[in-house]
Amino acid sequence: MEQRRWTLNDFDIGKPLGKGKFGQVYLVREKSSNHIVALKVLFKSQLQHSEVVHQLRREVEIQSHLRHPNILRLYGYFYDQKRVYLILEYALKGELYKELQKCKYFSERRAATYLASLARALIYCHGKHVIHRDIKPENILIGAQGELKIADFGWSVHAFNRRRTMCGTLDYLPPEMVENVEHDASVDIWSLGVMCYEFLYGVPPFDAKEHSETYRKIVRVDLKFPPKPIVSSTAKDLIRQMLVKDSSQRLPLHKLLEHPWIVQNAEPSGVYRG
Ligand code: AK5
């Protein structure tokens, strides 16, 4: 999929893969190469707010510079009068949150393998001064080999771009973001800590019925480990080192890769095959 001008006529449209924010995603085949990709269709009428258009432009710009096996590729985009189309890598095994729902929670081997692959993807992003800020199972897909693919950069920013208002779930956000103070790449360490907990327990750590209750738990770092399912103390140690209120004290991602729980449990190949 080289750089060129695309139109809808270049693709055979297959089954819908799902409905994301602002649009529908289809499995499609590029006619001349037979390449299978995912095509996201965004309606311009729903992108009217200049804020969203700005965000989309920024995202396409950021994505075009990222190449990593654990980050879903954005190959290109095109548009017509009514729609904007994003040409995305197709992730064969679908959505991570569905896998988690199906299994309820993951084994330590699976969780550690996933965590290490996400840490490597984020180390790569941070090296390019991109902080993701929206790491959660809903934004992660699974490729043909079982490898994770961070898929949605809808809220990613370049590191010099700080502070903004938020909407949606608070569950994965660190104290400095829910309190809307300055933040940096260490926000992604926090979100990864939340994900690690969710992989092992099936629910995020600050989950609550009320938004206000989740907010309170996050800012106090009200972290509790239920007795069931049984989780090793090395896993809990790692989670405690990531979910630290003072962002400068969170375990750096390269140290996460050296943590005993990761070293002992993660597949060296970086791929969980079950
Ligand atoms: C939209 C409006 C405003 C930003 C955006 C950008 C990059 O991935 C996006 C955006 C994605 C979305 C492949 C599967 C899917 C599935 C997706 C589509 C995922 Br299911 N099996 N294989 N994809 S679902 O939408 N990704 C993206 C790099 O909409 N940005 C501002």
Our measurement of the distance from residue 226's CA atom to the centroid of its chain's CA atoms, rounded to an integer in Å, reads 25
Predicted confidence (pLDDT) per residue in 126-178, tens digit: 898 888 767 889 889 999 999 999 987 554 555 433 344 445 678 998 998 88
pLDDT for the residue 159: 45
- Which CATH number is 96-265 given? 1.10.510.10
62 C-alpha to center of ligand 1: Å? 13
pLDDT for the residue 240: 98
**Closest residue to atom 18 of ligand 1, CA basis:** 25
Q: Which of 172, 182, 185, 180 is nearest to 130 (CA)?
A: 185
Question: What is the helix (H) or strand (E) element at residue 127, kind and residue range?
Answer: helix 108-127
205 C-alpha to center of ligand 1: Å? 26
**Closest residue to atom 14 of ligand 1, CA basis:** 91
Residue of 24, 37, 40, 89 to test ligand 1 pocket, by largest number of atoms within 8 Å of CB? 40
Closest atom of ligand 1 to 21 CA is 29
pTM of the predicted protein model: 0.90
Token code pair at residue 31: 């006619």
Number of C-alpha atoms within 13 angstroms, CB side, residue 88?
27
pLDDT for the residue 161: 37
Token code pair at residue 5: 């001008």
CA 6/CA 80 separation, integer angstroms: 10
Number of C-alpha atoms within 13 angstroms, CB side, residue 129?
5
- 67 near 125, Cβ under 8 Å? no
Superfamily per CATH, domain 8-88: Phosphorylase Kinase; domain 1 (3.30.200.20)
- Kindly write down the DSSP assignment for every residue of 238-255, as one continuous string: HHHHHS-SSGGGSPPHHH
Closest atom of ligand 1 to 95 CA is 20
Token code pair at residue 125: 């992003």
pLDDT for the residue 20: 66
Return the number of other C-beta atoms located less than 10 Å from residue 93's C-beta: 16
Q: Which of 225, 217, 171 is nearest to 201 (CA)?
A: 225
**Closest residue to atom 7 of ligand 1, CA basis:** 152
**Beta-ladder partners of 181:** none
- 138 near 21, Cβ under 8 Å? no
140 C-alpha to center of ligand 1: Å? 10
152 C-alpha to center of ligand 1: Å? 5
Closest atom of ligand 1 to 55 CA is 31
68 C-alpha to center of ligand 1: Å? 16
pLDDT for the residue 55: 80
Residues within a 6 A CB radius of ligand 1: 17-18, 20, 22, 25, 38, 40, 42, 52, 55-56, 59, 63, 72, 74, 86, 88, 90-91, 94-95, 141, 151-154
17 C-alpha to center of ligand 1: Å? 11
Domain boundaries, the chain: 8-88, 96-265
pLDDT for the residue 162: 34
Candidates 12, 80, 134, 152; catalytic one = 134
pLDDT for the residue 47: 80
- 219 near 178, Cβ under 8 Å? yes
Weakly modelled stretches of the chain, pLDDT under 70: 1-3, 20-22, 50, 133, 153-168
CA 80/CA 39 separation, integer angstroms: 14
Is 134 one of the annotated active-site residues of the chain? yes
